[in-house]
Amino acid sequence: MAHSPPPLTGIRVLELAGLAPGPFAGMMLADYGATVIRVDRAHPSSRHVDPSSPTPSSTSTTTTTPSPPPPPPPPPTADLLTRRKTSIAVDLKSPAGRALLLALLPTVDVVIDPFRPGVLEKAGLDPTGVLLRRNPRLIVARLTGFRRPGNNNDSSNKYAAMAGHDINYLGVAGVLGMLGRKAGKPYAPGNIVADFAGGGAMAAFGVVLALLERERNGGWGQVVEANMVDGSAYLASFLRLGMGMGRNNNKDGAGGGGGKGEVEGVWARPRGENLLDGGCPWYDTYETKDGRWVAVGALEERFFGKLCEGLGVDPAQFPAPREDRRGWPHLRMLFTAKFKSKTRAEWERVFDGTDACVTPVLEQAELRQMGFDQRPPVTLKSSPGWAIADGDRDTRPAAEGQGIGVEGEGWEEKGLAPGEGGEEMLARLMGWKKGVHYAVENGGLVLIERARKSKSKL
């Protein structure tokens, strides 16, 4: 089947190098066709080479002067979200480096700003006062952890300038307080919720919305604001609304519509006592005979019946109707003992192909051994994104349902060194040549015209 190019083909993105959320937004855009150039900090050992620097072949063989030691390698980066990106290294504190970035803007659609509030402004790159004036079509996606400073009545202002990480944003968003077991401390679920779902993915969504709006408004760009606190809080909308669906004050009665008939919200009780947070015995994980785990999610009554059938238990023998919380401790002990009686593989043979909502809890290493391949989160049937691929795979036909491109597992990424592939990309997109349009100074690219002006003032 013939496909159209990925939907973001032709969109050009400058991703100012940052930590996980910004790179994730850039990777999402790249996976759907955008050309993404990461702007790294200049470093003496970047991939950019000054052609005027002496090389071993250009030095005299008769000299006894020892060659200077090579510069140290670039500092290690934790950024593994580099799929389909290239890099240029630029010193944004240098007037000539900043001038190079500004010279790129007229040909760029999106800039991703991952910095804390005020950083771009201090660098002389104010989004509205500088960037959008240089290119009115530009979309500047600004992604912060906490909310950017707002009006004086905003109680969240005190966090705006603070450092933070996923766990902090979840805490301020009221999400972390929802996660964890009964009588236990709030549990941090890795950095998936705030950094990636509430941060990077929301920022990418905002970029796509702004691109759509630009098509409708005559070509005007805008600033897109996203932050991980509001992104995480938005993701928790169902839970927050579930807290307000009514409360059952009968502590011993049923939850979720049982007992004396009151309607209780899906998240109306304290942490760890609700239907979807492990408080309910038929929505939990259980250990198997071989020390592995299964996930049980038999919420609906007909699915609960299939669960009981597979476990070999009769609901008619339970001490109370399943909705009555007073019987939940008994059910949990019963399910715990039953699942411990067989290995996970044995339970898979029992429940696979049924509607009992019982699945294995697979470890990442198991997935890879099973040949699990990561696929794009959304497939557009006529214009799919690129297939997920390992870094150095040979070109092969794309897998069915993955989209066009190179087939691969998506388990490895070689990373991206500062300056890697950037000069080739500048030649392709801008027609720029080293030594004509830009030069290399201290491991970073500078605009030649501006560099000459700066040197003439010395």
Nearest-angstrom CA–CA distance, 89 and 440: 9
CATH 3.40.50.10540 residue ranges of the chain are 12-235+421-456
Residue pair 111/126 in contact by the 8 Å Cβ criterion? no
Classify domain 12-235+421-456 by CATH architecture: 3-Layer(aba) Sandwich (3.40)
Contacts of 213 (CB under 8 A, 6+ apart): 222
Class of domain 281-369: alpha beta
The DSSP code for 128 is I
Q: What is the tens place of the pLDDT at every residue in 113-156?
A: 999 999 999 999 999 999 999 999 999 999 999 998 875 566 66
Which bin fits 356, alpha (ψ -120 to 50), beta or left (φ > 0)? alpha
Radius of gyration of the chain (CA): 28
Domain with CATH 3.30.1540.10 in the chain: 281-369
Q: For residues 121 and 115, is the Cβ–Cβ distance under 8 A?
A: no
414 CB contacts (<8 Å, ≥6 apart)? Answer: 82, 391, 392
Beta strands in 197-310, from DSSP E residues, in sequence order: 222-227, 283-287, 293-297
* pLDDT value, residue 266: 81
**Which pLDDT belongs to residue 414?**
79
pLDDT for position 50: 64
| Helix 201-216 × helix 228-235 angle, to 10° | 100
Low-confidence ranges of the chain (pLDDT < 70): 1, 45-47, 49-78, 151-156, 245-264, 389-409, 450-458
- Any idea which residues carry the catalytic annotation? 195
Residue 235 pLDDT = 97
Q: What is the pLDDT of residue 78?
A: 64
Report the C-alpha gap between 292 and 361 in whole angstroms: 8
Instruction: For the chain, report the end-to-end CA distance as a whole number of angstroms.
Output: 62
C-beta of residue 241 within 8 angstroms of C-beta of residue 184: no
pLDDT at position 253 is 43
Give phi and psi for 182, each to the nearest 5.
-60, 135
Instruction: Pull the structure tokens for residue 160.
Output: 């705006």
